[in-house]
């Protein structure tokens, strides 16, 4: 199968390219960086250097590639995340999802592709409800900024994908990535902050986080090439866990001490309301649908396995 992969050199793009090639697929990947494009070519994939916001260049690249499937993994999440500037940090990714997705989908259809697979996130459920939700659970679109607008951007993208008349659109709602090249991997921001004991547990630390190893997320994406149908799928491991459990485990895996605890009021002073609220009230997600319809199961069923497996964190 011929696959056009928009965003082929990011945290999930790199393992996804490797798995696609290993499975015998042809890959045409995009990157903004000529150096990363050369690295991509060295793996056996074709590479196109472009700015995804250049709609003419993006359309031309898709038409030239003539893919069977288009995969959208475009994000812009580099740099240090500063809690009080979360809206600035996520702004370009919001634009990639709302502005670029329709152009990419239309180009895919024009090029003769039959399916589109797009990256979204599982961690946008409403803060009220059962501890673990599924793809039909109420979302947090009505939360105040910065979280509400992020959820709205994701939902707009998801709607464009699943409603496209000419393509079978699948949305993969990934959990929090961990592993090589991610924030929760060796050298990543959260990993290093925990190792140095600079990232505290806020309040009760009861917010549930659904994580997924980046290699498992890539494997689910490969499965989605020819499994499943139009719709939304959560791609998460089997153990949603509160921060008070997984953060100390990650700190230990990184060779650090257990994180400090800070009261919620102090975290709000330092970081605003959004991230402290997630730390205490976020809900987990279920991947039952992906397991049954995509015929997918994570190599690391729990972050406990992934945090301790040799090399799994990078």
Report the pLDDT averaged over residues 244-258. 98
What does the pLDDT read at residue 79? 85
State pLDDT tens for residues 37-85.
999 999 999 999 999 999 999 999 999 999 999 999 999 998 898 888 9
Report the pLDDT averaged over residues 238-261. 98
State pLDDT tens for residues 83-131.
889 999 999 999 999 999 999 999 999 999 999 999 999 999 999 999 9
CA 41 to chain centre: 24
What does the pLDDT read at residue 83? 86
Report the pLDDT averaged over residues 206-223. 98
Outline where DSSP puts E strands in 42-167: 46-49, 69-72, 115-121, 132-133
What does the pLDDT read at residue 78? 86
State pLDDT tens for residues 288-312.
999 999 999 999 999 999 999 999 9
255: left (phi over 0), alpha (psi -120 to 50) or beta: left
Domains and their CATH numbers in the chain: 2-181+210-238+285-299 (3.40.50.720)
What does the pLDDT read at residue 90? 96
Q: Is residue 265 over pLDDT 90? A: yes
Rg of the chain taking only CA atoms, in angstroms: 19
């Amino acid at each position: 199968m011929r696959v056009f992969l928009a965003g082929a050199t990011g945290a999930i793009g790199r393992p996804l390219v490797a798995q696609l090639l290993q499975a015998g697929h042809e890959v045409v990947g995009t990157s903004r960086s000529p150096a990363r494009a050369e690295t991509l070519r060295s793996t056996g994939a074709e590479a196109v250097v472009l700015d995804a916001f250049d709609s003419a260049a993006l359309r031309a690249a898709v038409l030239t590639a003539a893919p069977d499937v288009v995969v959208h993994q475009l994000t812009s999440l580099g740099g240090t995340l500063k809690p009080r500037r979360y809206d600035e940090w996520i702004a370009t990714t919001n634009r990639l999802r709302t502005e670029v997705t329709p152009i990419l989908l239309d180009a895919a259809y024009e090029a003769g592709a039959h399916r589109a697979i797009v990256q979204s996130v599982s961690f946008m459920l409403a803060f009220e409800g059962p501890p673990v939700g599924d793809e039909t659970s109420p979302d947090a679109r009505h939360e105040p900024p910065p979280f509400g607008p992020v959820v709205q951007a994701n939902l707009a993208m998801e709607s464009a994908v699943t409603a496209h008349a000419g393509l079978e659109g699948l949305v993969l709602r990934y959990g929090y990535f961990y592993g090589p090249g991610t924030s929760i991997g060796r050298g990543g921001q959260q990993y290093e902050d925990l190792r140095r004991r600079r990232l505290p547990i806020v309040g009760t630390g009861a917010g549930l986080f659904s994580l997924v190893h980046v290699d498992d997320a890539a494997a689910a994406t490969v499965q989605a090439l020819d499994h499943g149908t139009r719709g939304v799928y959560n791609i998460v491991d089997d153990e949603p866990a509160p921060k008070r459990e997984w953060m100390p485990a990650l700190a230990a895996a990184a060779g650090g001490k257990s994180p400090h605890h800070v009261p919620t009021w102090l975290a709000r002073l330092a970081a605003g309301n959004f991230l402290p609220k997630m730390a205490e009230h976020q809900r987990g997600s279920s991947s039952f649908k992906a397991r049954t319809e995509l015929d997918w199961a994570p190599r690391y069923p729990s972050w406990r396995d992934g945090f301790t497996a040799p090399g799994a964190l990078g």
